[in-house]
Chains A and B, each alone.
Chain A
Amino acid sequence: MKKLVIFVLLTLICFNFSCEKDNKYLAFDPFIVSLVSFIEDLDNCPIESISSEEYFNYANPLENLMMVYDHKLIKSIRSNEIQKGTDIQNIFSEEFLSSFPSIKPESINSETSIIIKKINKVLISNDNKDCIPRLKKIENFIVRNKKLNEDYSDLLLGYSTFLRHAVIIHEEFDVSKDDEDITWKECMTEKANQLADCKNCYVEKAYFALSWPLSLSIWAIDCGIASLID
């Protein structure tokens, strides 16, 4: 029930606040104000301008803890439970928040939701490759300015780290898709397409059509073996 309330709160807050309200809340907290302007500047700046020093002097205390959640993220991404974008909040609120007592669910309020919205914008408006260093910069900023507001910083740091890991896993999953096991049907279709696309294979094609029981059986067995081995 508690998890559900957190998720509903997060979702409602993230999507229903207007810009006017954003500015109203921003006016009260210097940490939020500076973080919002930092993210906005970051979103506009080209990725080349992010220094390598920033990238390597990275000291996120949650980084090592995230390893525990990576396999859960992989599982969720593989089963298409999460997509790039806002679905990550669901897993974040259910899995991540519940296991970090230092992150108080009370800190998910309108102010943090503004930042979450901004961070989401960074994710959605950029390619995966670009948004990873941007998220890292955000995390660096939060770590450096943690003392300004410890209530929000843990939550936002957790969110950004969680999101970054999800993006990395998403990307790795997409890259590894090429080497992934192909099904028997895909294998057969690929073979058919290869032969059909062959430009100087008139006799080969005719031979295939003439001896189709044998040729198709060979394809079927090859694809069967391939799908079993992979």
Chain B
Amino acid sequence: MKNQVERIIFIVALIASVLILFMDFTFLSVILGISCLVYLVLGWYLLNPAKTRRFNFVYFWIGYSFSTVFLTLILVNYEVQLFKIFQYTVLAMLLLSIILMASVRKVREKGLVENILKTLLLIAIDIISIII
């Protein structure tokens, strides 16, 4: 159930992220803002596929990175001057997330492929936003 909810939130946020790169609608910013808050506060819980509380920090970091991606896209949309530094920082954060996921054994066991895939998708969106 928890994973299903997280997947729905991620898919909605992902679609909003892609759309916001090409369209300027306030509701897309609102969706991204909510997703940003959800991943910031509950990322450690939602992204963790196992019931164990171990490695919460790794999942918190992944959620934090996802959250920063969504914030970056809002900043890009509103053309806040700081968005460039966010784009590069978030790229580093996402790469670090992949390294963390791949290196911690317990994290590697469950949900690794799914989380890495999500991270790669967000890296792609971040790179597109840098190119655009």
A-side interface residues toward B, CB under 8 Å?
A: 189, 192-193, 195-197, 205-206, 208-210, 212-213
Contact with A along B58-82 (1 / 0, CB 8 A): 0000000000100100000000111
Q: How far is the CA of A205 from the CA of B81 in the complex (A)?
A: 11
Contact with A along B80-96 (1 / 0, CB 8 A): 11100110011001000
Q: Which residue of A is nearest B67, CB measured?
A: A213
Query: In the complex, are the beta carbons of B82 and A205 less than 8 A apart?
Result: yes
Contact with A208, one of B81, B85, B93 (Cβ below 8 angstroms): B85
B98 on the A face (CB < 8 A): no
A196-B81, A209-B89 provided; 17 other pairs, C-beta below 8 A? A189-B80, A192-B82, A193-B81, A195-B82, A196-B85, A205-B85, A206-B85, A206-B89, A208-B85, A209-B82, A209-B85, A210-B89, A210-B93, A212-B68, A212-B71, A212-B86, A213-B40
Chain B residues touching A, majority SS:
helix
The number of residues on chain B lying at the interface, defined by a beta carbon within 8 Å of a beta carbon of chain A, is 11
Q: Which residue of B is nearest A210, CB measured?
A: B89
B-side interface residues toward A, CB under 8 Å?
A: 40, 68, 71, 80-82, 85-86, 89-90, 93
List 22 A–B pairs whose Cβ atoms lie within 8 Å, in order of A's numbering. Answer: A189-B80, A192-B80, A192-B81, A193-B81, A195-B82, A196-B81, A196-B85, A197-B81, A205-B85, A206-B89, A208-B82, A208-B85, A209-B68, A209-B82, A209-B85, A209-B86, A209-B89, A210-B93, A212-B68, A212-B71, A212-B86, A213-B40
